[in-house]
Structure 1
């Protein structure tokens, strides 16, 4: 199961950080934004979301032949400048939201992209898969990918706690099912903006040393956005060092008196830095 999940993550990361090249086929210049409402920057410039022709490999049986392209459209010269192509994962996906937000004296374009979660990843996903892309507006007016922001908000889908869900079903409990062990936290504009002003985010942006205290028994996972019935866990009061952050998960190190340094991933909500 873990091997399948790692393969899935590697495939996605490879797809995202490959160099995107828009189709060379002749295309009529247009400012029509068909995949999400255009974002007006001023009276001469728009961010538009359009279909870009895409040929899938022959081994894929799919009715879709496009990906979603993000472009800067300059109305005064009828010029479309590519910003990015959204990943193709079993389909073209959907722009859930897109907005400009001023952050650290710079305008940043945030795009929340949603795609179907893979059915063969070996993980009990209970939601679509979400991605948060971020692009800094440069002094020349073009938008460039901000990989540090992308890594922080990360990629994620809700993951079901199968034993707990099955227990609820067996006992006829009247609760919302399935029960999630992990819920991807950045599905909305409001959640992203709130995070940008959080203490944890600012410490991470400033490359500060981050320490955290465990609030409750929490299982150590080998990968983020994954939930396994592992025997490794931390308990309330344990002190950890945070080494990385993505999608609401913390890569931590814990100094164990007998076993030395223990490493793993835990959900941020189980620590005092995300309460």
Structure 2
């Protein structure tokens, strides 16, 4: 017989947004697992009393989700619910030179909420993105920090011109400020495709976790598409 047949209440938070009080409730759900240590994390929006509606169920391969932070914030007339979770994992990506700091990998989900209805905001989820602090194995030093480990950093970019211009399709190009390598995917642990130098101009195709997916055409008309760090461009520096 399974040891855990009940649902455990682990958080109850009284957050206020719009003109109504709303709370977020997390429940551990063991029903999908034979291992008593594994669970999915179900999220509910409530009136802080009896009425509630399920928002989402978080479940990841290999480890149960844990909470970094969660909060409501209103932007452009929309009440956004941010939930940051993480898992501990020894599954790493392409480049064995790097590992995740303390094995911690982070996820962000964003929902647009009105009363008890919350819908996934894919654009904001993609913009903030998933990720982890990367540690170089040889030196044991952090070589890249995931930019949204704390709620205040999310809130700062949520209200930035950087995001506003991107969502309004006004952020279309940029200029390299510091020599930067271009990668196949958004991360130092991805395959290197080459590099761009100060003054190179590029078109922006996508943004996630302060990485830019760009298209660059050289003087000999050769086009390369890949990911660069936003901090090496005027995009993050000026907006």
TM over 0.5: yes
2:46–2:116 contact (8 Å) kept in structure 1: no
Name the CA distance, whole Å, in 1 between partners of 2:156 and 2:23: 26
1:137–1:85 CA distance, 2 compared to 1 (3 A): same
State the superposition RMSD in angstroms. 2.5
Equivalent residue for 2:106? 130
1:266–1:44 CA distance, 2 compared to 1 (3 A): closer
Q: Does 1:115 align with 2:87?
A: yes
2:52–2:116 contact (8 Å) kept in structure 1: no
Q: Does 1:65 align with 2:70?
A: no
| Aligned residue among 134, 142, 152 for 1:179 | 142
| Aligned residue among 187, 193, 216 for 2:155 | 193
Equivalent residue for 1:146? 121
Higher strand share: 2
1:238–1:68 CA distance, 2 compared to 1 (3 A): same
**How far is the alpha carbon of 1:130 from its aligned partner?**
1.1
CA distances 1:143-200 after superposition (whole Å, capped 9, x unpaired): 11111110100111122345xxx4xx5xxxxxxx4131x2210111110011012222
| Aligned residue among 208, 212, 219 for 1:246 | 208
**How far is the alpha carbon of 1:231 from its aligned partner?**
5.5
Name the CA distance, whole Å, in 1 between partners of 2:166 and 2:20: 36
1:68–1:85 contact (8 Å) kept in structure 2: yes
Name the CA distance, whole Å, in 2 between partners of 1:161 and 1:216: 22
In structure 1, list runs of 5 or more residues that go unmatched: 1-25, 170-176
**How far is the alpha carbon of 1:266 from its aligned partner?**
0.6
**How far is the alpha carbon of 1:48 from its aligned partner?**
0.6
Equivalent residue for 2:52? 80
Higher helix share: 1
1:152–1:52 CA distance, 2 compared to 1 (3 A): same
SS in structure 2 of the partner of residue 203 of structure 1: helix
| Aligned residue among 227, 231, 235 for 2:189 | 227
**How far is the alpha carbon of 1:87 from its aligned partner?**
2.6
1:225–1:89 CA distance, 2 compared to 1 (3 A): farther
1:258–1:94 CA distance, 2 compared to 1 (3 A): same
1:54–1:39 CA distance, 2 compared to 1 (3 A): farther
Name the CA distance, whole Å, in 2 between partners of 1:86 and 1:186: 19
User: What is the aligned length?
Assistant: 227
SS in structure 2 of the partner of residue 274 of structure 1: helix
1:120–1:191 CA distance, 2 compared to 1 (3 A): closer
2:94–2:191 contact (8 Å) kept in structure 1: no
| Aligned residue among 159, 164, 178 for 1:202 | 164
